[in-house]
Amino acid sequence: MRYQKSTPNRKVLGFIIFLIACAGLVIFHERVIITLAKKNIAEVFPGSSIAIDRCHFEPTHLLAFQGITIKKEKIYDITLKELRIDYTLVSLVRRAIEKVSVSGLTVRITTPRASARALSRHIALKPSGALSVRKLAVTDGRLDLRTQEVRLEAGISLGADISRLRLEHFTFTLDSLTSGDVHAENASCSGAYNEAGKIFIPQVRFNKIKLADVSATLRFTESVIAFEHASARFLGGMITGAATVKVPEFSYVIDLHGTGLDAQVFTKDFELEDKFKMVGHWEGSLKAVGRAAAVTFFDSNFGAVTPGGNLEIIDKKFVEDMAQRTKTPSDILLERFRDYHYNKGVVDLSLEGNDMVAGVILDGEKGKSNFKIYLHDFLKTLLNQIQGGGIA
């Protein structure tokens, strides 16, 4: 009887021991996997503190990590809610991972006294011959960047087919951006491969150029990014047009048309009120073609809208320079432009080196006049901002 009573107890005890052994094996494996993962992360982020809360491993198809933190004091703080790696045994034989999914990614970079380039000293990206990744998914990503040149707060989600070098879809929200003379906030952009997406920016400022209610339809493939049906409020009027960018050579074509552009708003926004006062509305078009930093073609023509407007030049140095160029006495020019009404007007924009030059020709009751307005280093500053300035 004693033997019969002890048999069930021994079986229960044996099963409990088996469960404990299995749990210990799982915990042991989890700790080993986390240790190996932290070692690999440390090679990319040397000198950082790394923590991983837990991992989940299913040998035939899945490895997932939750609660990842990578931090280097006063430089960067990276957190991930989950990093999921999906694979098959066949894909591993082919040295490939089917998909990497990142959720709840937050990247905070804080180097207010250093250039963003300085980050390269803290990240050691090395080419790896291990496994390739076929697809990438990022959901609920956040970026908070504060460097010497840039202040950026943004959110992003995306899906990419890396094996085909293709961005499948994305959603980007810009809370705020300040970089040099560029400032924008509350912008949004979304799109999918070869489908109509959208862009909207309530306000953006580049140097003295101010745009509002910027919108466009976005289309992209591996080689072309197209901005269609673009429009924006500018100088009290409207700009409409389109632009196409080819990648990776970054060649572009820009076509714009402006209507109802207010000369008085122009003198105010471009801080020219101490030089001259101008009233009237203009319209015209602009086309630019280029590749990377080189503008290969630039043409524009704007004309005054009937019934014209008024111009008064009050900057004596401006008049003296005009007098020297036109060989006309400055007192005659001052009198002519004291209250000059123009019936017709033409403005041609051109590039002289890095300067944007507005060649103005006016025809009015006091005769025909022409002069130039210079926006110094306009092209150089614009290209620096497009290419990231000190960011790249």
Q: Containing domain of residue 343, as a range?
A: 225-392
pTM of the model: 0.81
Q: Look at residue 95 in the predicted model and tell me its pLDDT.
A: 86
Answer yes or no: do 105 and 230 share one domain: no
Do 35 and 99 have their domain in common? yes
Percent of the chain surpassing pLDDT 90: 42
* Residue at 285 is within a domain: yes
Tell me how many domains the chain contains: 2
Query: Is residue 175 domain-shared with residue 229, that is, in the same domain?
Result: no
CA distance 259 to 303: 10
> Between 124 and 267, where is the model more confident?
267
pLDDT at 17: 55
User: What 8-state DSSP symbol labels residue 162?
Assistant: G
Contact 333, 323 (CB under 8 A): yes
Secondary structure (DSSP) of 88-122: -HHHHHTTEEEEEEEES-EEEEEETTS-GGGGGGT
- Give the domain-ending residue among 179, 200, 217: 179
* β pairing state of 166-179 and 355-364: unpaired
In a domain, 189, yes or no: no
Instruction: Assess whether pLDDT exceeds 60 at residue 2.
Output: no
Q: In whole angstroms, what is the distance from residue 97 CA to residue 161 CA? A: 12
Most confident range, picked from 201-205, 303-307, 323-327, 329-333: 201-205
Question: Rounded to whole angstroms, how far apart are CA atoms 304 and 170?
Answer: 42
CB 149 within 8 Å of CB 116: yes
Q: What is the predicted pLDDT for the residue at 28?
A: 60
Same domain, 53 and 171: yes
Q: 89-123: per-residue pLDDT in tens?
A: 888 888 888 999 999 999 999 887 777 677 777 78
pLDDT category at 127 given cuts 50, 70, 90 is: low
Same domain, yes or no, for 255 and 156?
no
Residue among 174, 86, 103 at smallest CA distance from 138: 103
Split at pLDDT 50, 70, 90, the class of 319 is: confident
- 337 and 232 in a single domain? The answer is yes
**Quick check: 81 and 117 in contact, CB under 8 A?**
no
236 and 95 within one domain: no
**8-12, 63-67, 154-158: which is most confident:** 154-158
Instruction: Give the pLDDT confidence score for residue 149 in this predicted structure.
Output: 85
Per-residue pLDDT reduced to its tens digit, 58-97? 888 888 999 999 999 888 999 999 999 998 888 888 888 8
Would you state the pLDDT for residue 296?
Answer: 87
Q: Where are the alpha helices (DSSP H) in the chain?
A: 2-44, 89-93, 263-269, 316-326, 330-336, 378-386
Say whether pLDDT at 283 is over 80.
yes
At residue 271, the pLDDT reads: 85
The region of weakest confidence among 180-194, 282-296, 355-369 is: 355-369
